Structure 1
Amino acid sequence: MKHLLCILICISSLVACTSSPDTHFPRYSYFTRTKALRAQVINLDTILLRYPFRVTVRDSIAVVMDLHNIDNYLHAFTYPTWKHIASFGKRGEAPEEMLSAANIQFNSLDSLWALDPNKMEISRWKISLSTGTAERVEKIKLDKKLVRSLDFRTIGSGFLIPDYLGEHRFWEVNNNGEPIKSNGTIPSETIHTYTSRPALAQAWRSFMDFNPDNGVLAMATQLGETIEIYNLNKNTHKVLYGPAGEPKFQTGKDGSGIPSGIMGFSDIKVTKKHIYAVFQGIKFKDKLATFQRGERPEDGGRFIYVFDLEGNPVCKYTLDHPVYGIDINEETNTIVATEVESDDPIIEFKI
C-alpha cells in the first residue's frame, strides 16, 4: 500500500496530454520466443532487507539497495555465497548520512556509486572483503539545474542523468556534478506546445542503463510501455511502443493528474548483446479495485522482455515470482532479482 501511495503522490501534479501530432513510433506486439522461468530462492545468512529495490553484482560482491530499511540503505554480500559483508549508507540527516536512495552502480570491483535524490549527491563507496567494511571515499554534489535526480549511469567523463524539467531526455554531467550537454526530447505522440513540460517529465519518469562497451543507453518508462534506445557511439535513437503505449492520465477536478493506464517497467539492463526490461503491465484500476476489496495487490513484474541492441524483440520470460530489480550475467545465464514482498527477497533465474 505504501508503495502505491508513493507512486500516486509522485505523479499527483501531472496534466493529461490530449492532442495528437503526426509523430508515430514503431510498435512491438509479440516476441519470437517465450519461456517460463522458475526461481531459485537464495538463503541469506542474515535478516536485513525490508524492501530491496535494486541489486547489482560485480565478480565476488553483490550489493542490494533497500528503500525501507530503518538503519542503512545499502547492503553488501559475497557472491555467489551471499554472506553479509557490511551495511552502509546510513539513513539520516547528518553530512555523512543519506536522506534517500534511488539507484546504485559498480564502478570497479570494490567501488560502488549510489545516488541520494533528496541530498542531490552521488557518493562512491569502497567495499573491502578482507575487513568487512564499506567506506565513502568520494561525494559529488549535483547542480540544482538537475532538479531532483532519480536515476544515473556512469560514463568515462562523468554521469548520464535524466532530465526532469521536460525540455530534454537526459543530461551528460561532468565529474563535478555540472550538466554540460542535453540530449533528446520526450518521445510522446500526444505532446502539444501547451503541455506542461515538468508534468510531462514526471509522467515519463524512466529507468535507465548504459553499457560503455557498446555505447548503448536504454530507458524504460515506469508508466505505460515505452522503450528508448540511444547508441551514443553511432549517434542514433530508436523509440519502441508496446501495446499499452505511452503513459496515460486523466485530469482530476483539482487539476491533479490521475493515472489511467498501467504500471509499466521497473528496471532495465543493457548487456553486450541484449536489453532486458522487467515489465508489470498491471492496470491502475485493477490495483485500486484490489485495495477496495480489502486485498493487497501484487508488487512487482512477472515478465522480463529481451530486445537486441537495435530494439528487435527477442524473448519474453514469464516468471513464477514477481520481481523489481535485476542484474544479468549472460556468461553464466543467470538473472539475480529482488522480490520486495517476500521473506526470501533475493532470487535467481537460469535462462
Structure 2
Amino acid sequence: MKYLYLILFLYIGLITACNSTDTQFPKEDILSPELMPLQGITSPIRVEVKHPFLILQNWQQRDSIFHIYDLTNYEFKSAFGTEGQGPKEYVLPWLVQTTLPDFLIADNQSFHYFGINKEGQPIFKGAKEVKYINSVNEAVFINDSLFVVDAQYTGPNVYLLTLQEELPKKTWKYRNPDIVDYITDPNMGKVYANESRIVFCYGYKKQIDFMDTEFNLIKRVKFKFDSSPESNLGGENDKISYTYGYLGKRYLYTLFFGTSWKEYRANSTYGNILEVFDLDGNPVARYHLEGRGPVYFAVDEETFTLYGAGEDGDPEDNLLVYKLKGLS
C-alpha cells in the first residue's frame, strides 16, 4: 500500500509541476531593451531575419515599403517596393515570416520570392500564384510549396495547403463552428509552422499545441490561467494569454500578456514576458522584458537576438532589440 501512496504522491507532484508557471522554465532572466537605429521616416510593422540581413516592412509608406539592413553593423542597405496597380507594384503586400532561405512577400493571392546578395540588394526570384481562394497573407510555410493558413473569420479550421491545389490536403478544426466571430471564440489563437512542426498558441488560455506537419499532436503545453468569462469575449477588457510569436528552426518564441489590451496599453506596452520552448514543447527559458513590448518580431537564431517594432503605430527611428541570454 505504501508504494501505491508513493506513486500517487509522485503523480500529483508531476501534474502540479506541469501546470505551474513558476517551476517549468529552467532559465529565467530580466532583459533590458537595446535600440537598432533606422534611417529616414519609417513606420515598421513586420520584420524578418535572413542572417546577416534584416528585412523591415513599413505600413504607412506607399513607396520604399521594404527596407534591408545589415545586422553586423545596422547599416541600411536598400529599399524597394511601391504600392499601386502597375507592373512590379504591390496592392496589399505582407512580409511572410518563414524558415526558408529566401524571404517572401504575399500580395494579391501570390507569393513573391526574394534572395539578398552580399551587398544587401534584393534579388527577385519569381512569383507563385495560389489556387486557394481565401486570403493567404497570414500563411506560414513548411517548405517551398506546402503552407498552413488559419481560416479565422471564414471557418473554424486551420488548413494544410499546397500552391497548386485549391482544396486543403488536411484540415484541423480547432474552434466552435457555431461561433461566427473568430475573435469571440475561446479557442482563438495564432498558428506557426516550420519544416517539421505546426504550432498553435491560444489567445484566451495559456495553452500551446505542438503538432507534426500533418496536425498530429506531439505535445500540449497547458498552464493554469485565470481567463475571462467565455460569454463576453472580444472586448478590450478580456485577459489575453499568448499574443505575437515567432517559430524558428530551433525554438518557439511567444509573448505572454496575462492582462487585457486596455491595461497593456495603459502601461505603455510594458510588462511583457517572452516564453521560449523547444520544438517538442519543452519549456526552455522565460524572459521578463523591461522595456516596451514588440508586436510582430523575428529572432536571429545565429545570435539569438530578437528584433521587433513597437505597438503604438507611430513613425519610429529604431527597432526594439532584446538579446536572449542563455540560448544556444
Helix, strand or coil: the match of 1:138?
Answer: strand
Query: Contact between 2:45 and 2:57, CA under 8 Å: does it hold in 1?
Result: yes
Match of 2:212 in 1: 231
CA pair 249-49 structure 1, distance change in 2 beyond 3 A:
farther
- 2:275 alignment partner in structure 1: 305
Confirm or deny that 1:176 pairs with 2:197.
no
Q: 2:295 aligns with which of 320, 324, 346?
A: 324
- Cα distance, 1:305 vs. partner? 0.7
Larger Rg: 2
Q: Does the 8 A contact of 1:323 with 1:339 survive in 2?
A: yes
Change (3 A) 1:71 1:265: farther
C-alpha distance in 2 between matches for 1:246 and 1:94: 48
Cα separation, 1, equivalents of 2:169 and 2:321: 39
1:96 aligns with 2:97: no
Separation of aligned partners in 2, 1:259 and 1:237: 33
| Whole-angstrom distance in 2 between the partners of 1:69 and 1:301 | 30
Structure 1 gap segments, 5+ residues each: 1-25, 291-296
Name the structure 2 match of 1:158. Answer: 146
**% identical equivalent positions:** 16
Is the contact made by 2:209 and 2:219 (CA closer than 8 Å) also made in structure 1?
yes
Task: Give the Cα separation in 2 of the matches to 1:327 and 1:267.
Answer: 10
Residues 1:105 and 2:86 are matched in the alignment:
no
What is the aligned partner in structure 2 of residue 219 from structure 1? 200
Residues 47, 95 of structure 2: 8 Å contact kept: no
C-alpha separation between the residues in 1 aligned to 2:296 and 2:169?
29
Question: Which of the numbers 51, 59, 63 marks the counterpart of 2:51?
Answer: 59
Task: Mark the CA change 1:299 to 1:234 in structure 2 (over 3 Å): closer, same or farther.
Answer: closer
Contact 1:279–1:305 (Cα < 8 Å) also in 2: yes
Confirm whether residue 138 of structure 1 aligns to residue 123 of structure 2: no
Contact 1:249–1:259, Cα closer than 8 Å, also in 2: no
Structure 1 residues 335 and 144, CA gap change in structure 2 (3 angstroms): closer
Deviation at 1:248, TM superposition (A): 6.1
Give distance in 2, aligned partners of 1:69 and 1:264: 32
Separation in 1, partners of 2:66, 2:260: 31
| Shift, 1:106, TM fit | 5.4
Aligned match of 2:36: 42
Between stretches 310-319 and 326-335, larger displacement belongs to 326-335
User: Which residue in 1 is equivalent to 2:323?
Assistant: 349
The superposition leaves residues 104-141 of structure 1 with CA deviations (integer Å, 9 ceiling, x where unpaired) of 235655x311223xx233221233344x5435432233
Q: CA deviation at 1:72?
A: 3.7
Equivalent pairs counted in the alignment come to 300
Between the aligned partners of 1:238 and 1:62, the Cα distance in structure 2 is 32
Distance in 1 (alpha carbons) for counterparts of 2:76 and 2:165: 32
Aligned partners of 1:95 and 1:27: how far apart in 2?
A: 54
Q: 1:284 to 1:268 in 2, by over 3 A?
A: closer
CA shift in 2, pair 1:107/1:331, >3 Å: closer
Contact persistence 2:114–2:125 (CA under 8 A): yes
Structure 2 match to 1:68: 60
State the alpha-carbon separation in 2 of the partners of residues 182 and 227 from structure 1: 20
Structure 2 segments unaligned to the other structure (5+ residues): 1-17
1:9-28 correspondence to structure 2 within 5 Å: 27=19
Look up the match of 1:114: 105
- Are 1:261 and 1:283, in contact at CA under 8 Å, matched by a contact in 2? yes
| Residue number in structure 2 paired with 1:83 | 75
User: Structure 1 residues 140 and 179, CA, compared in 2 at 3 Å: closer, same or farther?
Assistant: farther
Deviations 1:155-205 (A, max 9, x none): 244322223333422x2222336343123221x5xx4x7x23x42377555
Structure 2 counterpart of 1:138, one-letter code = G
Q: Is the 8 A contact 1:220 1:267 kept in 2?
A: no
Pairing 1:270–2:247 present? yes
Check the 8 A contact 1:339/1:347 in 2, yes or no. Answer: no
Is the contact made by 2:255 and 2:275 (CA closer than 8 Å) also made in structure 1? yes
Task: Provide the alpha-carbon RMSD of the alignment.
Answer: 3.5
1:287/1:156 Cα in 2 relative to 1: closer, same or farther (>3 Å)?
closer
C-alpha contact (below 8 Å) 1:113/1:122 kept by paired residues: yes
TM-score calculated relative to the size of structure 1: 0.70
**Which residue type is aligned with residue 75 of structure 1?**
H
1:337 to 2:328 alignment: no
Q: Secondary structure at the match of 1:332?
A: coil
